Structure 1
């Protein structure tokens, strides 16, 4: 059966560029867009099996639409040179694949695709258009589908007329009318001011087309909307015209000219070698020098014949000679919880030699145990923290980690959190590697496979590490991330390993007592709620609660859901001033969550042997570089609530007579903002040692220090912290319960005083649009693929992220650096004190009484000197018998 696939070349290349980290060959060719494009192409060839195939490109910047509207696409930022230089490489790639490509001067790829889909439609030929551009949905018909790329280009979402109807309630042709009304900022199509997607769809559901909407302006609800439509009749018609894809462009090729004959494997392999796409070589079948297929392998799981050896006790002397440095090491565990998971085996690799070491053999192989513990024997590992802890819990010791692939991959693209070895191998290694889920199964079906499957799977992991490390080392260097890995993340992983293994003691009896106290309070609150409601009901039932609040008490409805008026927390907060029952319900919910999540949750996590919780610090999950914690999550204990803060009473020293000591950075993100923005007023305020919120209130309201009221300071504080997160006038109005206009004026006054901050916000967004990413002071990088999105909300979120990440990410880097330095100083000073926890900007220690004086000086000294800024870092230190008392 015939199948015509048309690829929107510019759209797919652009999305691939922003989805992948900036990769380059050893010769300096940037290739991330080419790699993403190639991956998509291979998927298309395998899954769609096209009989006809074409890639359409834009021919130039000036097209026929500019004669209608000179500002067409006028708002677009200049294409980054790192992307521009990849288009010739993509064309070279298509030639290697024998795929036809076409472009037409004065026209866009859209018009070529529009014309060819009309032809294929007339011939009844099944056609799929692959693009990242929603405008293409207008081309959908009985024979034409549109596949929109998602997650960069790794996934596609297929649209037929039925899907468009379900999602928008429109026909494909009405997509043009939608753009005519709402416009499109990415193409600089103006649309009608004040008309967004929601309003545009509502109008089209009523009237069908732009022309019919304009013919019925007087019947449209809303005076402002009527006025906007009346004043922009011609602009709406022009916008619809600009959004209409041409279906009869003078295209010189026809559908019959793009029959796809398949490709010459050798040409593709030569191309992949030139671009250094090592991991894709195994996908090419039949080339003379491509990696061969494994006998009987599935076409998606191919690689050169893979061989490995299982180490036996009888031949230990022989295998001892194969231990070398560097060498890759993988430690296989039975499950994810590496504080408790038993070992299933080890694998080692050097060059293309892989060894599997069963646990019982490893225990008897003295030379291997010595190699593991020898700091001079360099190990390349996947996740050093995991391995160190797991081995320690199983009575073994490992030193000499020379490269941590997990952390390196995270630094290359922090948005892809918690990278798996199989994902990394797919990009960097030539050996194929199944995911653990494929080998072990999932959930209740999870089981250890037969010995041969297990040993081969683990051996493949070691070889994947060995093959991946050299390439990713080069990329780290190119992206200036080497130092961040070697000076902060890698040594920090060992600091965290020590903290996790040691754990923090929890007083079980105190927790149980707190649970009983919360039960009593919950009973009291339940009685109060029943009394205020005038009847008993299930407080945890949204339906019953809604009936009480809205039907019985007649409170205003702010938001509706499918099942009725909402009872969510944000709605209840708005309802609080209307009736005392609401505040009581909110308190009831907070205490209920405390009881279930933190009291019961913590009790479950206390290790039966140690009497401690061994929280896992996740080093590669947040895009900003912040640590998070799980099993249990100690970052989210709600300390603003007194009952929540009291939970810290259960965290106590592990030794009798010792103290808990807490050291907390004061306003670290605002201090980083002062440094990065170089704002003189902000810098002066910190250098003078003033309370920053009071100083902000003085400057913004134009009053003396003694005239600053508590309300002024509270508003200044909300703006100070809001600015760090790119807060909008709407966001600030919600925080302060003031009008949007007042909030906007407040932000304006702030920026007039702190002009450097405003300049920074504008510059960092502009630079992010040029580069596709932002960096912290220590070069941590975060890619922002949505920074040029045509969707206002998505783009705005990316812009706020661009403003915030350098600040929050630098603050994360500072506390990480402080932890590494703190560990070094504790060892230098030969102190018994231990670092136990990191929570946001706070470090928690347990300290013997005779070290309290020195620790109160040493901890702030190390933390405040972690990174030199042009404002001082300040640390507050407190101690007590429990973590709660250390505040």
Structure 2
């Protein structure tokens, strides 16, 4: 006989949780969908994890319940349901119908009472019952057969209440939760309780007397004068509060456990509602074909030879590759399209055609690419030169909306209302037409993407012009793509022997540290095991635990850093971890990324970050650690690719603070930069109220933390963690800083106000970042959006400036006729390789070009260095 598994869900509570956990989302019809989407994700996890045999979602029937006859102000303090959530309840019910999950509500009763009554029945039948809600009132239902899951933060953080957990957390039995609420009240439900009695006092009384009733039977034994007075004056209110907090377990419901039997969803109905709500990601998981819009027939020709008539003066071009890593991926074919025809060119035909090669490299032939950088790099790998790119589908769509996470043609096309492109999963994966020849599938897929680029270009370019983004796109990002393609194709020479030697040295240091850790602990254990490490630190050595996880003591870096002064072993462990990561991630990782030409060819992601910064992958060369000397030494492996050449590095000094000075127009900050004063010293002087000679290294360090913290929207909590001070001290520090730089303070106020008015912020070059949560009623979402409003214009402007410098620098190198090559961009730094006889020239022109990339009210400053490795340029 199969044991019943009954899952009872508090519909209203979970809907609210989902609504506030996700930003507002709307479908094409303007209907808000975030609560439905979040609820769906929770529901899928519940069904997968719990595998219920019986299930029910209980709803509140209305605002008035039988409890209001006891206390008219019950739940009186609750805010009105946001209209953006109210409009989603019908869709939530429709979703549950599609999943064939029973729903129930009862006039004059709450969802809690329905759940309480059914859990009692299931408990009596010795079935396994799981109650899921965000309301801790339901913890009173925990029993030997009933576990109550309470959602805490977001949608996945759940605390499970069994009788043992209730005892461990509160020191009382589950049935005493109602006594606790009777004494302390519950502000969320407007249950008054006894004034002056909080949770701590309520629990103390219950541990001594057991119940509200027994508290009053023993009132004379209570010696605390004020407590006794409050209890005596509010006796009736305490009893009433207990009644209000008590879940009814004998509600007159018309549904039985047998009615809750669950057989699974009606997939057709689920697909239908996913389509209606435009849940494309969810659709693709359960029915890839259903996620796609109906497609029109496509006319295309598969070329066996090419004539000049096939390739016109303006065409869209798309390379269909087997994977996204275009530096190494095989090209399956090339499609070109315009209004008159669509042509698929197999790679061997392209490689063998002078007509195609000449058209490809001719800058007068305008090419509208799905991804110009990937196209140029991939073709360059096969000896084909490409030029004349006038449109980049990926870049243009990214600039229109940098918050979009879509990077494939099909998804981007759908974003702009063009549904005639299927996802690669449908074409090549699940649901693929196995009877169709592979070349025909590839040809159709590639050609639909080329057509999408051709047809959507006018629409996207119009959006760019409407939003004053066209110059950013056409004058900055599109030319930069060409420069980055050359950098990726060039690569940077990496000395494997140097990497291996650093690895040997690191391994020796790790062995020394391991021995020192064992000696300090007085025992051998697996240092990489958090569980074993926790036992050593908090049980054997006896350090005070700061945080616990589900599996034991937390030994995360932030926890250990707070204990660093408690015992010598902590510093050893932190260093061990850092060196271990260096060895595995960078020594071993970088060694695997060296190509046959002895170089690492990183990929620069130009259409990823919301601030406009470039990022680097396969491998990430922007993230090599520099705090530890051992990390800095890794840069010694990056060397010039030619004998007699050097690496030359130039980086902007404090560019973000200079941008802040310009944007905030803070007189004191502007003057400091114009006078060449060290800004961190100046800040320390202002914040600590001392003269220059009295500024200590600790003062400057603190000033530097708050300077850069302001740029990144730091909070008092974040600064307190950075400086190891209290939040109160950090808050005072920030206030003093803002009072010292009133222009910065006003900038922060004004930029948030502007963002609330327009819904977005801009950089100095008009790059936009939309902030849909800037007016959210959710404090956390709104707070994050406000901090983003403050820092994005600064970070984004700094990113735009170095991009402009790269374009100007490439042009200057060409004008000067130099052999120097630009290799890498790492945040605010540019790295070149150059023959020795060009170094003196670079010392002049690199700072000159970079410092004149944009005119600010403060000077830009560039520091440079050169050497036989990247390490030597520091």
Say yes or no: TM over 0.5: yes
CA displacement at 1:401 relative to structure 2: 0.6
2-side partners of 1:388 and 1:552: how far apart?
Answer: 60
1:484 to 457, 472, 476: 472
CA displacement at 1:210 relative to structure 2: 7.2
On the 8 A contact 1:170/1:205 being kept in 2, the answer is no
2-side partners of 1:349 and 1:400: how far apart?
Answer: 16
Hey, what does 1:313 align to over in structure 2?
A: 304
Is 2:635 the counterpart of 1:657? no
Hey, what does 1:462 align to over in structure 2?
A: 450
On the 8 A contact 2:564/2:570 being kept in 1, the answer is yes
CA deviations over 1:354-390 (Å, ceiling 9, x no partner):
2211122223333222211111111111110000000
On the 8 A contact 2:32/2:87 being kept in 1, the answer is no
- Partner of 2:132: helix, strand, or coil? helix
1-side partners of 2:712 and 2:82: how far apart?
Answer: 41
Hey, what does 1:815 align to over in structure 2?
A: 802
Is 2:505 the counterpart of 1:495? no
Hey, what does 2:770 align to over in structure 1?
A: 783
- Partner of 2:811: helix, strand, or coil? helix
The change in CA–CA distance for 1:338 and 1:109 in structure 2 (over 3 A counts) is closer
Superposed, 1:380-399 pairs within 5 Å as 380-399=368-387
On the 8 A contact 1:659/1:882 being kept in 2, the answer is yes
Superposed, 1:215-230 pairs within 5 Å as 215-216=193-194, 220-222=198-200
Q: Quick check: 639-648 or 371-380, which moved more? A: 371-380
Hey, what does 1:348 align to over in structure 2?
A: 336
CA deviations over 1:182-240 (Å, ceiling 9, x no partner):
9xxxxxxxxxxxxxxxx99x999974697764325555335899999x9xx99xx9xxx
- Partner of 2:563: helix, strand, or coil? helix
The change in CA–CA distance for 1:441 and 1:709 in structure 2 (over 3 A counts) is same
Q: Quick check: 404-413 or 363-372, which moved more? A: 363-372
Is 2:680 the counterpart of 1:713? no
Is 2:548 the counterpart of 1:560? yes
CA deviations over 1:703-738 (Å, ceiling 9, x no partner):
211111212111111111111112122221111112
CA displacement at 1:352 relative to structure 2: 6.5
Hey, what does 1:761 align to over in structure 2?
A: 748
Hey, what does 1:865 align to over in structure 2?
A: 852
1:440 to 428, 434, 456: 428
Q: Which structure 1 segments of 5+ residues have no match?
A: 21-31, 45-66, 75-105, 130-136, 143-161, 175-181, 183-198, 242-279, 281-296
Hey, what does 1:159 align to over in structure 2?
A: none
Q: Quick check: 483-492 or 741-750, which moved more? A: 741-750
2-side partners of 1:225 and 1:818: how far apart?
Answer: 65
Aligned residues: 712
Q: Quick check: 357-366 or 393-402, which moved more? A: 357-366
Hey, what does 1:474 align to over in structure 2?
A: 462
- Partner of 2:661: helix, strand, or coil? helix
Q: Quick check: 213-222 or 473-482, which moved more? A: 213-222
The change in CA–CA distance for 1:204 and 1:645 in structure 2 (over 3 A counts) is farther
On the 8 A contact 2:35/2:88 being kept in 1, the answer is no
Hey, what does 2:392 align to over in structure 1?
A: 404
CA displacement at 1:300 relative to structure 2: 4.8
Larger Rg, first or second structure (1 or 2): 2
Hey, what does 2:594 align to over in structure 1?
A: 606
The change in CA–CA distance for 1:575 and 1:333 in structure 2 (over 3 A counts) is same
Hey, what does 1:189 align to over in structure 2?
A: none
On the 8 A contact 2:664/2:747 being kept in 1, the answer is yes
1-side partners of 2:868 and 2:84: how far apart?
Answer: 69
2-side partners of 1:577 and 1:373: how far apart?
Answer: 63
CA displacement at 1:750 relative to structure 2: 0.8
CA displacement at 1:791 relative to structure 2: 3.2
2-side partners of 1:454 and 1:471: how far apart?
Answer: 26
The change in CA–CA distance for 1:331 and 1:139 in structure 2 (over 3 A counts) is farther
Superposed, 1:181-192 pairs within 5 Å as none
The change in CA–CA distance for 1:110 and 1:576 in structure 2 (over 3 A counts) is closer
CA deviations over 1:119-170 (Å, ceiling 9, x no partner):
x99xxx98999xxxxxxx979978xxxxxxxxxxxxxxxxxxx998255555
Is 2:506 the counterpart of 1:521? no
CA displacement at 1:433 relative to structure 2: 1.5
On the 8 A contact 1:13/1:36 being kept in 2, the answer is no
- Partner of 1:787: helix, strand, or coil? helix
1-side partners of 2:400 and 2:340: how far apart?
Answer: 25
Superposed, 1:172-183 pairs within 5 Å as none
1-side partners of 2:664 and 2:182: how far apart?
Answer: 49
Q: Quick check: 371-380 or 759-768, which moved more? A: 759-768
Is 2:681 the counterpart of 1:694? yes
CA displacement at 1:335 relative to structure 2: 2.0
- Partner of 1:768: helix, strand, or coil? helix
Is 2:836 the counterpart of 1:849? yes
The change in CA–CA distance for 1:354 and 1:774 in structure 2 (over 3 A counts) is same
- Partner of 1:576: helix, strand, or coil? coil
CA displacement at 1:342 relative to structure 2: 2.2
2-side partners of 1:138 and 1:353: how far apart?
Answer: 61
Superposed, 1:666-677 pairs within 5 Å as 666-677=653-664
Q: Which structure 2 segments of 5+ residues have no match?
A: 1-10, 40-72, 105-109, 116-128, 142-151, 153-168, 186-192, 205-225, 245-277, 279-287
2-side partners of 1:808 and 1:584: how far apart?
Answer: 35
Is 2:314 the counterpart of 1:326? yes
On the 8 A contact 2:751/2:789 being kept in 1, the answer is yes
1-side partners of 2:378 and 2:588: how far apart?
Answer: 26
On the 8 A contact 1:638/1:644 being kept in 2, the answer is yes
1-side partners of 2:91 and 2:599: how far apart?
Answer: 67
1:635 to 617, 622, 628: 622
CA displacement at 1:672 relative to structure 2: 0.7
CA deviations over 1:423-460 (Å, ceiling 9, x no partner):
11113354522222332339xxx999722212111111
Is 2:711 the counterpart of 1:744? no
Provide the TM-score with structure 1 as the length reference: 0.71
Is 2:409 the counterpart of 1:421? yes
Hey, what does 2:254 align to over in structure 1?
A: none
Provide the TM-score with structure 2 as the length reference: 0.72
- What RMSD over aligned residues (CA atoms) do the two structures have, in Å? 4.8
CA deviations over 1:230-287 (Å, ceiling 9, x no partner):
9xx99xx9xxx9xxxxxxxxxxxxxxxxxxxxxxxxxxxxxxxxxxxxxx9xxxxxxx
Hey, what does 2:671 align to over in structure 1?
A: 684
Hey, what does 1:258 align to over in structure 2?
A: none
The change in CA–CA distance for 1:543 and 1:139 in structure 2 (over 3 A counts) is closer
Hey, what does 2:132 align to over in structure 1?
A: 165
CA deviations over 1:540-561 (Å, ceiling 9, x no partner):
1111111111111001100100
1:453 to 434, 438, 441: 441
Hey, what does 1:301 align to over in structure 2?
A: 292
On the 8 A contact 2:318/2:334 being kept in 1, the answer is yes
On the 8 A contact 1:346/1:359 being kept in 2, the answer is yes
2-side partners of 1:847 and 1:742: how far apart?
Answer: 50
CA deviations over 1:471-517 (Å, ceiling 9, x no partner):
11111111111011111111111110000000000111111111101
The change in CA–CA distance for 1:70 and 1:579 in structure 2 (over 3 A counts) is closer
CA displacement at 1:469 relative to structure 2: 1.2
